Structure 1
Amino acid sequence: MGEILTDKVALITGAASGIGLATARALIGQGARVVMVDRDRAALDRLAGELGPAAIPQLTDLLDAESCAAMIPEALAKAGRIDILHCNAGTYIGGDLVETDGATIDRMLNLNVNAVMKNVHAVIPHMVERGSGDIIVTCSVAGHSAIPWEPVYSGSKWAITCFVQTMRRQLNRKGIRVGQVSPGPVISALLADWPEENLQKAKDSGSLIEPDEVADAVIYMLTRPRNVTIRDMIVLPTNFDI
């Protein structure tokens, strides 16, 4: 029998848009409560009103060290426990490496890699004490293939693939499942930085997927029986040529 998500408590970062919002909606639809973490206060307030009491808004800036460190304690104070941590927040840099700068690289690595590691580190004691939990990280197909037009982004996602798979081995005997979902190009604000030629080519060929389709994969991962771990689910548009 698969996992039932009714009354589970999930925490999702980057929950005010894109994959995070789609997953929050899907989990609430399955009967879960969701701590929706984002830095966009206005969006969180609007979504809390729209989604009802199962949506618990939490304003956190993952790029601020103090705010990031406070995320898990604040969520536990609001929701009482965390059954599911979905580290989803991220940013994107496309183009040749020489076209960016050090500050932008730091921001990407801090959000895509460092914040994920810190969030997982912070939630582990709580989940270990309870003897159960699920940790899912939004990775990317770029964490499996060296994408020439996005070396910094691809590098950050390769790092996450390594981190997730090592943590899966550390935690699998403690009742905690760890896995990642690795989408191809998703229709979201992150694609705003794609080289226009590549973005238009993807649009014209139907090589993009919707956030809801990634959320479906996350729900599938979470609802497997406890003796089953989906270590990585790669979700691609059928026409994506990579």
Structure 2
Amino acid sequence: MLENKVVVITGASSGIGLLTAQMLSSEGAVPILVARSHQKLAEASNRITGKHEIKGMDVTRDDQVKQTFEEIIQDYGRIDILLNNAGYGKFENAVDMPTEEYERMMEVNYMGTVRCTKAVLPHMLERQSGHIVNIASMAGKIGTAKSSAYTATKHAVLGFSNALRQELRETGITLSTVNPGPIDTPFFDIADPSGGYVSNVKWLMMKPEHVASKIVQLMKTGREELNLPLKAAAAMRLYQLFPRLSDKLTYRMMNKK
């Protein structure tokens, strides 16, 4: 089902992006790995045996995004799937987090998603075919202490995705969102350098291979939303029904940062 599909993956030099690229390659797809670091991309390329390509690109740069997507479409004739995976987080109290960090995080996590989506949309609309997969987060649905900057970016990704999904009805384009909880990846090297949060939520932390396999499965089925892990999905639904009550009841349990 994914054989020969051209799949562009941002933030693909490590973690979920790289693992998804490896799995897609084994399925016969053609992953295009995109990230800022050429060195890390070269190292990632050595871990993929099937047909693939690497592209250095900064999702915060309009010119680089435009040029990269134009090159891919010119070289392959199409982009079947876009996986917007690039992003990072930092956990800190709002009063201590510099405004510049809020801006930077929004530029990467949210505007990076917007830029890449807008770069591929005209092409997909012309073909009346395509699949856009946006990696959001459980944080986009449930806010917790010390994550105001990161949570805001993922709320924005979800809002953008949900509205755009309505625009794309009956166009042949599918838009999916993935909302994972904590995953055992290098994400926490920046988000939680002390390791305290990771230690507190180890019981909930998912293996990256599990998440990557679920993303590949979503690409096959066209499912529009995926919440992970399943035991957290129920909590998200409850929170959306009773947000203020949930805040009061779960404050201490959720304050793990």
TM-score, structure 2 as length reference? 0.85
Say which is worse superposed, 130-139 or 146-155, in terms of deviation.
146-155
The equivalent residue for 2:92 is 95
The 3-state SS of whatever aligns with 1:97 is coil
Q: Paired residue for 2:43, among 46, 62, 87? A: 46
Amino acid at match of 2:87: G
Q: Paired residue for 2:62, among 65, 87, 90? A: 65
Task: Say whether residues 1:179 and 2:176 are aligned partners.
Answer: yes
Q: Paired residue for 1:31, among 24, 28, 32? A: 28
For residue 52 of structure 1, report the CA deviation from its aligned partner.
Answer: 3.6
Q: Is the 8 A contact 2:33 2:54 kept in 1?
A: yes
Mapped partners of 2:196, 2:152: distance in 1: 22
For residue 36 of structure 1, report the CA deviation from its aligned partner.
Answer: 0.4
**How much identity, in percent, do the aligned residues show?**
27
The 3-state SS of whatever aligns with 1:98 is coil
The equivalent residue for 2:227 is 234
For residue 107 of structure 1, report the CA deviation from its aligned partner.
Answer: 0.9
Q: Is the 8 A contact 1:15 1:36 kept in 2?
A: yes
Mapped partners of 2:157, 2:126: distance in 1: 25
Q: Is the 8 A contact 1:207 1:237 kept in 2?
A: no
The 3-state SS of whatever aligns with 1:92 is coil
Amino acid at match of 1:137: N
Q: How does 1:113-192 map to 2 (within 5 A)?
A: 113-192=110-189
Mapped partners of 1:60, 1:134: distance in 2: 21
Query: Which consecutive residues of structure 2, in runs of 5 or more, have no partner in the other structure?
Result: 236-252
Change (3 A) 1:178 1:71: same
The equivalent residue for 1:55 is 52
Amino acid at match of 1:116: T
The equivalent residue for 2:197 is 198
Q: Is the 8 A contact 1:207 1:238 kept in 2?
A: no
The 3-state SS of whatever aligns with 1:99 is coil
Q: Is the 8 A contact 2:62 2:115 kept in 1?
A: no
Say which is worse superposed, 74-83 or 171-180, in terms of deviation.
74-83
TM-score, structure 1 as length reference? 0.90
Q: Paired residue for 2:215, among 214, 218, 239? A: 218
For residue 47 of structure 1, report the CA deviation from its aligned partner.
Answer: 2.5
Q: Is the 8 A contact 1:184 1:237 kept in 2?
A: no
Q: Deviations over 1:178-226 (max 9, x none)?
A: 01111100111211222643221123xx2211221111111121112xx
For residue 119 of structure 1, report the CA deviation from its aligned partner.
Answer: 0.9
The equivalent residue for 1:107 is 104
Amino acid at match of 2:99: G
Mapped partners of 1:29, 1:186: distance in 2: 22
